């Protein structure tokens, strides 16, 4: 109410944004723009880096791997996260608090520590293979690391919290009365689930799925430790081109493709989200 | 009925079962590392044939591990201070400012969180090669700050939005200068947001792997870089010991964050 006092005394406030703005311009915008520009200038000006990337089976295979793993990870996390988020929303709050503590602990535990655990668990003589053999599911150890199976398991482990938390937020806000109404109108549990609860939870599933998919597309650490060099994903390709081959043009081109896909999916998410808010 | 736990009937056991399995799936690998770090099997056999503290001994006997941990802590502490300070100013501008394009600026400030870290890492690596900042403390701090700042801005502006600016106006009306009002009225009121932002920023820097791999030099490396280079050679139990200490630190910081939240709600 006294705000007539404030503009003159405080200024517009733009000055306070300057440190962050300058920092990001100098060490984020300019470097990223520089990297992307090298994709069309090195080794010579032109689009030949993109032609190589999109024209060879080896590189297309890497993009295919990236989309395949990200898609699988998204699907599996969504299938697990929906019942979990639903249970968390209606459980006694003390039990839910324990589960939340476990989710947060896993989320904040060092990424390398978690990936290391899976490298040990999934190796040929590892616990997972020994349990599968002891229960008679397999006769001899199966290869679970250095391939996309290992990458998918490791990534599901890392991405689960990012699917559960937004989904929980959406389900928690659903009015129980709506489901009671469905029951009163004679809906069975299966019908209420399919035709009321799932549609109401869809915005949460969609936003969690987009987030997990986009994060998975650009992931580097877990794919390179659990996947090995024969099953590269696009982030590993960028690093390999820049670090081992010193081919900045190709690295920049792969980075540009990843960037465009990422930003396009985020724009889609913002659109969907804002479309609902209105 | 589907939103009432007691009226779910048999479904409630299925849901609870899935939830329990998921919790075990998330928890067991972490407990597994902790157990391995005390096991005496060089080949990481589980359950271990016997128990030992040998891997912790090896960890502390190697000065490179301690040095890396010290470097990590130093970088994370500097990043924490800068991230909270710059994030606070930026949040004040975003929440209280009266200029055009605040929504766009907010979106811009959050982009480093959205882009794959590997792109930022490679781009900064190229820029730092030219500026001679690779393998320096300054280089590490700048790189980590870029990815920590969005989290600080989200946390602090969230706290600022719940604080009524007319209380600050009241202080000014009572004779405080605008900066005095800010320091003595607004800052204490949003202190929980500042503490959370500090913890987030510290953890993000402390755990950062991808940027750190690119910033590191043979003489200057952080703990995650040391873990990374060791992991690529072999799966030694020393890493289990290092990981266990990292888990311990996470638990301590999580408890601190929970206490701050509790203090706020009182």
Q: Do B123 and A34 touch (CB under 8 A)?
A: yes
| Residue B26 placed within a domain | no
Nearest-by-CA chain B residue for A228: B232
Q: Do A14 and B29 touch (CB under 8 A)?
A: no
Chain B residues near residue A111 by CB distance under 8 angstroms: 207, 209, 224
| Residue B19 placed within a domain | no
Q: Where residue A268 falls among pLDDT bands split at 50, 70, 90?
A: confident
CA distance A84 to A95: 13
Q: Which CATH number does the domain housing residue B110 bear? A: 1.10.3720.10
Nearest-by-CA chain A residue for B20: A99
Which residues have C-beta within 8 Å of that of residue A166, sequence separation ≥ 6? A204, A207, A208, A211
Question: B214 is in which domain, residue-wise?
Answer: 55-265
What pTM was computed for the model?
0.89
Residue A216's closest CA among A147, A148, A155?
A155
Question: A222 is in which domain, residue-wise?
Answer: 45-277
Instruction: Count CB neighbours of B174 within 10 A.
Output: 9
Nearest-by-CA chain A residue for B141: A27
Q: Where residue A182 falls among pLDDT bands split at 50, 70, 90?
A: confident
pLDDT digit string, tens, across residues A27-78: 999 999 999 999 999 888 889 999 989 999 999 999 999 999 999 999 999 9
Residue A187: predicted pLDDT: 82
b/e map B14-51, b = 16+ CB within 10 Å? ebbebbeebbeebbebbebbbbbbbbeeeebeeebeee
Is it the case that residue A1 has pLDDT exceeding 70? no
Q: Which CATH number does the domain housing residue A95 bear? A: 1.10.3720.10
Which candidate from B89, B116, B172 shows the least CB-CB separation from A20? Answer: B89
Strand stretches in A104-160, DSSP E: none
Q: Do B19 and A91 touch (CB under 8 A)?
A: yes
Chain A residues near residue B99 by CB distance under 8 angstroms: 12-14
State how many domains chain B has.
1
CA distance B209 to B224: 6
Q: Do B146 and A28 touch (CB under 8 A)?
A: yes
**Residue B3: φ, ψ to 5°:** -105, 15
Q: Do B127 and A102 touch (CB under 8 A)?
A: no
Nearest-by-CA chain A residue for B258: A101
Residue B156's closest CA among B91, B81, B109?
B91
State how many domains chain A has.
1
Probe site for chain A from B25, B118, B149, B243 (most A CB atoms < 10 A): B118
Nearest-by-CA chain B residue for A190: B2
**How close, in Å, is residue B247 to chain A by CA atoms?**
6
Nearest-by-CA chain B residue for A235: B118
The mean per-residue pLDDT over the stretch A183-202 comes to 86
Which candidate from A6, A104, A117 shows the least CB-CB separation from B33? Answer: A117
Residue A103: predicted pLDDT: 94
| Residue A62 placed within a domain | yes
| Residue A35 placed within a domain | no
Residue B264: predicted pLDDT: 65
| Residue A236 placed within a domain | yes
Can you tell me the ipTM of this complex?
0.88
The mean per-residue pLDDT over the stretch A209-216 comes to 93
Chain B residues near residue A13 by CB distance under 8 angstroms: 92-93, 96-99
| Residue A12 placed within a domain | no
| Residue B11 placed within a domain | no
Nearest-by-CA chain A residue for B25: A157
Residue A124: predicted pLDDT: 87
Residue A274: predicted pLDDT: 65
Q: What percent of chain A has pLDDT over 70?
A: 94
pLDDT digit string, tens, across residues B43-85: 888 788 889 999 999 999 999 999 999 999 999 999 999 999 9
**How close, in Å, is residue A197 to chain B by CA atoms?**
8
CA distance B57 to B242: 11
Q: Do B32 and A127 touch (CB under 8 A)?
A: yes
| Residue B78 placed within a domain | yes
CB A28 within 8 A of CB B146: yes
Is it the case that residue A2 has pLDDT exceeding 70? no
pLDDT digit string, tens, across residues A92-149: 889 999 999 999 999 989 999 999 999 999 998 889 998 999 998 888 888 998 899 9
Probe site for chain B from A22, A108, A226, A237 (most B CB atoms < 10 A): A108
| Residue A38 placed within a domain | no
Residue B232: predicted pLDDT: 87
Residue A204: predicted pLDDT: 87
Burial of B208 by CB count in 10 Å (0-12 exposed, 13-18 middle, 19+ buried)? buried
Strand partners of residue A157:
none
Residue A5: predicted pLDDT: 46
CB B256 within 8 A of CB B199: yes
Probe site for chain B from A3, A27, A171, A243 (most B CB atoms < 10 A): A27
Predicted confidence pLDDT, tens digits, chain B (266 residues): 677 777 777 888 898 999 999 999 999 999 999 999 999 888 888 788 889 999 999 999 999 999 999 999 999 999 999 999 999 999 999 998 888 888 899 989 999 998 999 999 999 999 999 999 999 999 999 999 999 999 999 999 999 988 888 888 888 888 888 888 888 888 888 988 999 899 989 999 999 999 999 999 988 999 999 999 999 888 889 999 999 998 898 889 888 888 887 776 65
**How close, in Å, is residue B33 to chain A by CA atoms?**
6
**Residue A229: φ, ψ to 5°:** -75, -20
CA distance A76 to A102: 19
pLDDT digit string, tens, across residues A17-29: 999 999 999 999 9
pLDDT digit string, tens, across residues A229-260: 888 999 999 999 998 899 999 999 999 999 99
Is it the case that residue A275 has pLDDT exceeding 70? no
């Amino acid at each position: 109410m006294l705000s007539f006092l404030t503009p003159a005394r405080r200024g517009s406030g733009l000055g306070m944004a300057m440190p962050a703005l300058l920092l990001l311009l100098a060490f984020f915008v300019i470097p990223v723009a520089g990297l992307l520009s090298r994709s069309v200038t090195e080794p010579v000006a032109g689009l030949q880096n993109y032609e190589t990337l999109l024209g060879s089976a080896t590189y297309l295979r890497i993009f295919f791997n990236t989309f395949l793993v990200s898609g699988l990870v998204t699907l599996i996390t969504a299938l697990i996260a929906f019942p979990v988020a639903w249970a968390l929303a209606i459980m006694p709050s003390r039990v839910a608090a324990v589960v939340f503590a476990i989710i947060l602990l896993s989320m904040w535990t060092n990424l390398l520590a978690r990936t290391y655990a899976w490298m040990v668990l999934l190796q040929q003589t590892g616990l997972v293979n020994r349990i599968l053999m002891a229960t008679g599911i397999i006769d001899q150890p199966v290869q679970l690391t250095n391939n996309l199976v290992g990458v998918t398991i490791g990534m599901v482990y890392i991405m689960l919290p990012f699917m559960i938390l937004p989904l929980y937020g959406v389900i928690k806000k659903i009015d129980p009365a709506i489901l009671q109404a469905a029951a009163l109108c004679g809906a069975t549990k299966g019908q209420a689930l399919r035709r009321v609860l799932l549609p109401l939870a869809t915005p949460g599933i969609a936003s969690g799925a987009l987030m997990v998919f986009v994060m998975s597309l650009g992931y580097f650490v877990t794919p390179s430790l659990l996947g090995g060099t024969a099953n590269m994903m696009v982030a590993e390709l960028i690093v390999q081109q820049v670090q081992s081959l010193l081919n900045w043009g190709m690295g920049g081109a792969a980075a540009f493709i990843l960037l465009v896909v990422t930003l396009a999916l985020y724009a889609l998410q913002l659109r969907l989200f804002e479309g609902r808010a209105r | 009925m589907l939103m009432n736990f007691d009226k779910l009937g048999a479904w409630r056991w299925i849901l609870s079962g899935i939830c329990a399995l998921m919790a075990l799936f998330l928890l067991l690998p972490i407990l597994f590392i902790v157990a391995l770090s005390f096991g005496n099997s060089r080949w990481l056999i589980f359950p271990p044939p016997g128990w030992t503290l040998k891997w912790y001994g090896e960890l502390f006997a190697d000065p490179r591990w301690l040095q890396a941990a010290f470097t990590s802590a130093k970088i994370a502490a500097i990043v924490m201070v800068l991230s909270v300070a710059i994030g606070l100013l930026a949040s004040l501008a975003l929440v209280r400012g009266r200029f055009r394009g605040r929504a766009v600026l907010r979106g811009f400030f959050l982009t480093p969180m959205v882009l794959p870290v590997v792109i930022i890492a490679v781009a900064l690596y190229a820029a730092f090669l030219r500026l001679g900042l690779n393998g320096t403390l300054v280089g590490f701090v700048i790189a980590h700050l870029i990815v920590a700042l969005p989290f600080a801005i989200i946390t602090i502006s969230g706290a600022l939005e719940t604080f009524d600016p007319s209380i600050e106006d009241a202080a000014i009306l009572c004779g405080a200068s605008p900066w005095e009002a800010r320091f003595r009225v607004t800052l204490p009121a949003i202190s929980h947001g500042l503490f959370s932002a500090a913890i987030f920023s510290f953890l993000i820097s402390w755990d950062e792997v991808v940027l750190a791999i690119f910033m590191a030099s043979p003489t200057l490396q952080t703990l995650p870089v040391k873990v990374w280079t060791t992991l690529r050679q072999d799966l030694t139990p020393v890493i289990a010991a290092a990981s266990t200490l990292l888990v311990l630190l996470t638990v301590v910081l999580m408890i601190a964050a929970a206490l701050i939240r509790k203090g706020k709600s009182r």
